[in-house]
Each structure stands twice: as C-alpha cells, then as structure tokens.
Structure 1
C-alpha cells in the first residue's frame, strides 16, 4: 500500500493527466464504454436522476453547512446546487485548469470558491470542519483507503457526513474485465474501484446511514437492447431490474457486491 507521501506524488501525475487528457487507446475505449454505454443505461432506466435526487435528500438543509465538493473538476451535476444553497462552499480538485473554469461559474456566489490543491496536503489545503463532503466518483482514486479515511475523518466536523458514488470491483464479470484492461490503461495508478475489503474499511470507520448498489442485475440491460423489443418494453425490464438492485442492496451484502457501482451516505462517528 502506498504511503500518503507516495500518493501525493502520484497525484501530481494525475493532475497532468486531467489537465491534458492524454489517454491511450485502451483508456479512450473504456471511457467511451463508460460514458456512452453505462451512462446511457443509467439514464434510460432512471439511475442518474434518482441518484442525484437522493444525494440532495442526503445533504439535507444546507443553510448552515460548510460543504466540500471533493474532486469536482470543473463542476459536477450538483456543484452549483451545493454552492448556491450552503453557508460556505469549497470546490476542490487537482486540476488548476478545471478549477479556473469552476471559479468562473461561481463568480456571482460570494460564499463559494474553488481551489486547485491536493486533498491530502495539509500545506496546500488546511481547511477542515466540513459538515458535508460530496465525493462523486472520487474515493476510488486513492490506492490506500486507510490514508483517505484518516484524512476524511480529520476534515469532517463532528457529526459530518460524506456522500459518495464509486465503482465496485466485486462482481466476477466486472473483475475479470478490469483485470484484462488494467495493464493497458493510462490512469491505472489512481483508479482503484472498491473491493469488498475497501468497502468494509469505510463501513467499520464511519456509520453507513444508507447505501444503494447500481447495475447489478441491471448491468445486463445492454443485452435486452439487442432483442427485437420496443424501447418502452426494454426500459420496463431495465427499470424492474434496477429497482431490484436498488432495494435489495440496502441490506444484502451479496446483492450489493453483484453491482458495478455504489452510492452511500456515511457519518462521522
């Protein structure tokens, strides 16, 4: 496992990668599959909007809350919502180019700002006592979850929460696919989808208030799209599968670990 200092060095490479988007062919192919196929599936069966609506619910009333939008790049789907509704908002990302774009979007919100810094660096980012840390597609970028968990605990206010959404590497088909792809990807040094061990480290440190798995049975929706069925019928089947994944993964670890993605809200103990 990498030390905090080693991860900070890796993050310098990650900053360059996201500033210049230098992806090799395998990485571009996987990005296409992820963005054009998986994202389209989530859109078709209602996962995206359901997740964003749930995240807003988990945030609660932001009027008196200090919020960190961790790894937000130039702004995610809920960045402006968080900035406009919280007492204090900080968007944080490694990429100075992306943060410049976000600051332009935040210029009319006096209680909001964006910073280009490494979350792990106390020198670059000393802010703490956050009531909400929003980490959409971020927590899996740290190879050593212990280092990340310690920093999250340090940055959270008493009773503060983390709202996250990350990929899982716990279902056998996806694990095999990622093993085949990993040696060729440009961003392998900071792409670490959650294993069972990683999940349980978070579970044992924070109070997991609620969780949902995504794309368990519903990951096979792409096969339904190959059948000679109407779009309405295909979506009906996909939504039924998603509903099963969403509901069963709340309490069933076995069903959760059959899913491709995980969203949860965790509270500092």
Structure 2
C-alpha cells in the first residue's frame, strides 16, 4: 500500500513541477495569493515584523561552516539560500522545477561546495543523505502524506540533524472556513496541505521540537482595526502588542499556536 501511495505522490509531483515551471494560477488561486501575500505581508511590514522569522532562522542555523545543508524546495532561491550556499560546509538546493533550479545554479556557480538539482525529494533517484540541516521554508505543507515525509526526513538527516520549517496553519477556525470555501476552486489544491493539529502532533511525536513560534494569531485581526477611525500610531501599537503575544506565547501554549496562521519550528532528530 505504501508503495502505491508513494507512486501516486510522485506522479502528482510531476503536475506540481509543471505548475511551478509555468506559474499558471486560476482566478481563485490568484485572488487568495493576493490576500495571503499582499494584505498579510503588508500587515507585517506596517508593524515592522516582516523579517521576524528570517532573523530567527539565522540564529537557528548556528555555525554553518561544519554543516552539510539541504535547502529543500528552494525554487530559484529563498531568502536564505545564497547565505546557506556561501557559508555551509556543503550545500545542496533541490526543487521540482528545473527552470527554477537552472536560475539558482547560475547564482551559485562560483561556489565550489554548493550545487542545485531538479529532483523529487521522495524519489529513489535522490540518494544524498546525512544532512546536518534541512531548511524547509514553506515546503513541508506541500506533502499530503505526513508520515511518508517524516520517514524520508529521518532517512536523510545525520545523527543530531535538524530541520527548520515554516508553513501555514489551518487550525484557526476563521482561516479554516475561508480555506474550505476556497479549496474547490484552488488550482494548486493537490499539493497544498496547510498544517492541521494532527499534522503538528505528528511532527511533535517524530522529532524533538527545540523551539517553535506562531505568527498572525491575534495580529491577523489588525485588518479590521485598519478600517476603524484610529490613528496609524495607535494601529501600529496594537499590532506590535498582538504580535508580541502571538510570537512569545506560542512557544509554550498550543491554544495560542493554533490561533495563528503560520508556524515555524526548529526540530531535531530523535536518537
């Protein structure tokens, strides 16, 4: 059964590759992307938290000079791809899109210890392993079968290896309702699986979660504050307060974490 499931996923990933090579979104997907990447990105910019997770990720990287790094699903390069390639002992960026990987290879061709490959992480053709760090920025939620992915991640990690992830959550009721209404019209629905509570607990059971943070919990409601006759200074103050509560309280409180729209984690392989 597991073989058939894997084969189905690999076949579906060929469609995903074609999608990201061409970037063709239908109207519904384009609208949601605008909301997700437009409105909420603007909210983060307005209250000065746009790079909050990126800064934390850099802290989590630690000393890269001794690490073999896998940049999983990196497309043509994410926020930290070049930094990882320049500083890691060994860097490999992989993505389904050969078009994107060609661009990344051009950017890192001067680095002797760095390379990028267009390959499926689940494919038997991907044989590299013993990674000290797997950086998966907005990637893990593209895998429908979490158990299969977790098994593969463990196979590829070195002893004491770590994973840094960042993914959308579907645990806040308003967001779940919106996503449920939108999903039948979504052009990339076959490979978009925002984390549920069950997904989170599967990762929690499989790895040691060293640290975790949630974003856009209370803070997402700043969209409503923005339409009120309140000064920009007051709006910013409210946004910063709410974000601080989301960011700090989600470290230990599952209820706060599950009110958020995004989750980032530092996970370590269990012995």
Per-residue deviation, residues 18-42 of structure 1 (Å, max 9, x unmatched)? 0001111000101111111111112
Residue in 2 aligned with 1:14?
A: 16
* Structure 1 segment 57-136 matched on structure 2, within 5 A: 57-123=59-125, 125-136=126-137
Residue in 2 aligned with 1:211?
A: 212
Greater mean alpha carbon deviation, residues 229-238 or residues 65-74: 229-238
Aligned length: 268
Distance 1:227 1:182 in 2: 30
* Structure 1 segment 1-269 matched on structure 2, within 5 A: 3-123=5-125, 125-269=126-270
Distance 1:39 1:201 in 2: 29
Q: 1:121 to 1:223 in 2, by over 3 A?
A: same
**Secondary structure of residue in 1 paired with 2:7:** helix
Please give the TM-score of this superposition, normalised by the length of structure 2.
0.96
Deviation at 1:46, TM superposition (A): 3.1
Per-residue deviation, residues 34-62 of structure 1 (Å, max 9, x unmatched)? 11111111222333312111001111000
Q: How much is the aligned-residue C-alpha RMSD, in angstroms?
A: 1.2
Please give the TM-score of this superposition, normalised by the length of structure 1.
0.97
Deviation at 1:122, TM superposition (A): 1.9
Deviation at 1:231, TM superposition (A): 2.6
Deviation at 1:110, TM superposition (A): 1.2
Deviation at 1:143, TM superposition (A): 0.6
